[in-house]
Amino acid sequence: MKEESERANRLVKQGDIEPLPDKEGLFITYRRAREMDKTIETKFFEAFKWGGVVDNCIEWMRRTYNLPPMKPTNNSQQNNQPQREEEKAAKEKWELFYKETLPKKILEETESFDDSVIMYNDSPLMNEIEANLSECKTDEQRERYLFSLLKPFGDIPTGCGIARIYTPTAEINRLKEDIKELEKDKTYWETMPKNEQLRDISGKPSGTPKEQIEACNNMINRRKEQIDWVLHVNHQFCNLTGRFEDDAKWMQTGTVESCLSAFVRIKTMLANRLDALLLTYGIDLMKLQKESGLYLKDHRLITDVDCYIGSIELAKKYIDALPKEPQPKNNTEITEKDITLPSELDTEKARKYFAKAINVGYMKKEDINYKWMYGGEKGQARLGYFCNKIYSSPRPINKLEEFFGVKKLSASITNADNEAKRADVKKWRNEMNNNIFND
């Protein structure tokens, strides 16, 4: 009886069954919880699952532009032997598949995809999600349901991998954690005589501390190279599906790039609408993403959600009301080697001053991006001054705006060239110079 009671309590907590007291309230029976209506949701997310049209777009892009998930190695040997007829025929078959068959399939499935469920003010998809959210009886059931909405954007075999490409926060964090552990291992081996013979549990020789240090260095370098590769892939996909330039493929109807670009816009729309909906329920999408490692967006701009909530003021109220995670005290100073930047922003000078800005509290790290803190709501002028001092013209304005999650940064950077007239501007510029730039 005890085991049955514990199982029932667990299922009630998960929201799988509902307790039904009798009229006197003395005995409890159970019934299965009402099934959620996922008609629209199921059809919508099919496009993003493994084998769906978005997965096919990504596979085609990776192959066409040589952007595999893992950085290609330089030691792959070319096979110079002549191909047999069957090998040549198989190769030609695959080339035809990627050149004609798959693009045609992608275009047909993109054209048949119903984006009207998410793109307009009255969204049947969001209405269904909210109804299902209201059906959740416990926090655990609500969390499980929300994770199921993020799951199609994860890696195969459950999702299409679009989150890993466009918001590679979780992958980069995992690689950085690997590097930290390897650095610890390396420090341990460095305390031992370099040429001391090590032995395994059976007494057999197993190398020396020097060899272990070399192995740690190799693994650390490989993970750093993979971080650079992940950021490179992210940058290439963003450019190929959204950069405005003459003859951009994503702007041409009927291309795979245009199809993927359309689904990226849909993903972004879903991310912002879901974020706005959850804010009204006191739920933090950013926290859910961090816990699950499945990211639809890497930062929240109030202007991304206010139109769905009603006003900037109300959106700010909901954001400010979210539970705050306790920040652990960290007396460790950030150094240049702790700073990871996209290739467009990555310079020795930038890493140096990013680290100094974080250490004095002007900036804080948020996953793979950074948030400017100094000046609060009026901080964009200070951020512009910071970027002006670090980057020379022509500056990577678009990447800086994307990286810090701000808009119209160009004007603030340009104004930083002008001599300060107001006393308050002179004051904070002098403070920044003394705290960051005056070495």
Partners of 182 in the beta sheet? none
Residue 356: domain span:
336-437
Residue 393 lies in a domain: yes
Q: How confident is the model at residue 245 (pLDDT cuts 50, 70, 90)?
A: confident
Which of left, alpha, beta for 325 (phi over 0: left; psi -120 to 50: alpha)?
Answer: beta
d(CA 319, CA 148): 23
In the predicted structure, residue 182 carries a pLDDT above the cut 70: yes
Please write the tens of the pLDDT for every residue from 263-287.
999 999 999 999 999 999 999 999 9
User: How many C-beta atoms lie closer than 10 Å to residue 240's C-beta?
Assistant: 19
Same domain, 59 and 141: yes
Same domain, 259 and 365: no
Please write the tens of the pLDDT for every residue from 336-376.
888 888 878 888 999 999 999 999 889 887 766 688 888 87
Same domain, 313 and 235: yes
Q: Which two tokens stand for residue 192?
A: 């031992």
SS3 48: coil
Residue 76 lies in a domain: no
Minimum mean pLDDT among 12-26, 58-72, 320-334: which range? 12-26
Same domain, 350 and 404: yes
What are the b/e assignments for 46-76, b being 16+ CB within 10 Å?
Answer: ebbbeebbbbbbbbbbbeeeebebeeeeeee
What are the b/e assignments for 177-211, b being 16+ CB within 10 Å?
Answer: ebbeebeebbeebeeeeeeeeeeeeeeeeeebbee
Same domain, 151 and 236: yes
Q: Which two tokens stand for residue 277?
A: 């909906």
d(CA 23, CA 33): 20
Residue 190 lies in a domain: no
Same domain, 358 and 317: no
**Domain end: 291, 324, 357, which one?**
324
Instruction: Find the DSSP H helices in 191-292.
Output: 209-240, 256-280, 285-292
Q: State the average pLDDT over residues 1-14.
A: 56
Phi, psi (rounded to 5 degrees) for 363:
-145, 150
**Domain end: 257, 291, 324, which one?**
324
Same domain, 118 and 51: yes
Please write the tens of the pLDDT for every residue from 373-392.
888 777 899 999 999 999 98
Please, how many CA atoms are within 13 Å of residue 369, restricted to the half-sphere of its CB?
A: 17
Total count of domains within the chain: 3
d(CA 399, CA 344): 7
